[in-house]
Amino acid sequence: MHSRRNALLLLHLTVFIWGFTGIFGKLIQQGTLHLVYTRTVIAMTGLALAAWWMRRTLSPRTPELKHYFFTGVLIAAHWITFYGAIKISTASIAAACLSTSTVFTALLEPIWFKRRIRAYEVVLGIVVVGALVLLFGLETKYRLGIAVAVLSALLSAWFNIINAVLVRRDDAMRISFYEIASVAAIMGLGLLVMGDLPPPLWELPTSDIVYHLLLGLVCTSFSFVAGILVMKQLSPFTVMITVNLEPVYTILIALLIWGAEERMRTGSYLGIALILACLLANGWFQRKRTAQELAEPDPLGRG
């Protein structure tokens, strides 16, 4: 019970940190591809140093390496679409659209874990989509940004479910390192082919250097490992429904920084309230299901 509670606390801290990813994405002056590449190189370096300091092995001798690379492809696509959505809409819209990942998780998780679809997960997912509609109504000038952000949400749900499987077979630090290293390799190769590699970090404006270090080390290295680690105790759906707090944090931070540029309609705040209600409802359903499982008699008659 305590390990689950600690996992939930770590998850909420991680989601709060993720709330800043969209903010840094908007503050950094680089384009989307350069931003993702620089972020991943910093994060990969941070993970390597952390593994060395903690004496954790990063040996590539694992049969899961091909799965890490495939997941890295999904993560690269997720980050490109997420930051792309920020650049063509707003940080608030891109972050809030990630709420649709709940629906995708509810549909994909049963396939990966070979279990039945739980009705309450689908209902909560639909409510989150309704909250998304309330958040932004008919934001016609941001339709492209919304579509790209929803695609990013699908990719997010996909790679999080895969990681929930992988973390049962390997260390979260090694999984994180090779997945992020895959992203860095994919982005670096693509930019090299295009002849458009970004300048070294130290040649960027001071503000970009600071934001990149925070984004790469805190929002990626630390939070990525933590986000995978909690899946040892929590289901992917619980993780994804909690991640829906990320847009709430992002929206509040964006309002503090940019004010009217990020301000939403009155009904949008009802959408935020619905997201919070879904979080509480999911927690209640999870506790109820756990209590029922513990109360079921052992079929072998063991105490």
Main-chain dihedrals φ then ψ at residue 279, nearest 5 degrees? -60, -45
How does the average pLDDT of the chain come out, rounded? 81
Query: Can you give the pLDDT at residue 212?
Result: 92
Amino acid identity of residue 70, one-letter, is F
Q: Which residue has the higher pLDDT, 196 or 125?
A: 196
Residue 1 has pLDDT above 50, yes or no: no
- CB-based contacts of 194: which residues, under 8 Å, 6+ apart? none
Query: Can you give the pLDDT at residue 224?
Result: 78
The residue ranges of every structural domain in the chain are 2-287
Q: Which residue has the higher pLDDT, 85 or 241?
A: 85
Residue 299 has pLDDT above 50, yes or no: no
Query: Can you give the pLDDT at residue 262?
Result: 57
- Report in angstroms the alpha-carbon separations of 22 from 78, 85, 264, 301: 13, 10, 17, 53
Q: How far apart are CA 297 and CA 300, in angstroms?
A: 9
Query: Can you give the pLDDT at residue 7?
Result: 84
Q: Which two tokens stand for residue 149?
A: 């952000």
Query: Can you give the pLDDT at residue 235?
Result: 76
Main-chain dihedrals φ then ψ at residue 30, nearest 5 degrees? -70, 160
Amino acid identity of residue 126, one-letter, is I
Q: How far apart are CA 153 and CA 108, in angstroms?
A: 13
Percentage of the residues of the chain whose pLDDT score is greater than 90: 19
Query: Can you give the pLDDT at residue 297?
Result: 55
Global pTM reads 0.78
Query: Can you give the pLDDT at residue 303?
Result: 41
Cβ count within 10 A of residue 59: 6
pLDDT in tens, 6-65: 888 888 888 889 888 888 888 888 888 999 999 999 999 998 988 888 888 888 888 888
CB 93 within 8 A of CB 85: yes
Residue 137 has pLDDT above 80, yes or no: no
- Report in angstroms the alpha-carbon separations of 34 from 7, 83, 102, 187, 224: 33, 11, 29, 8, 20
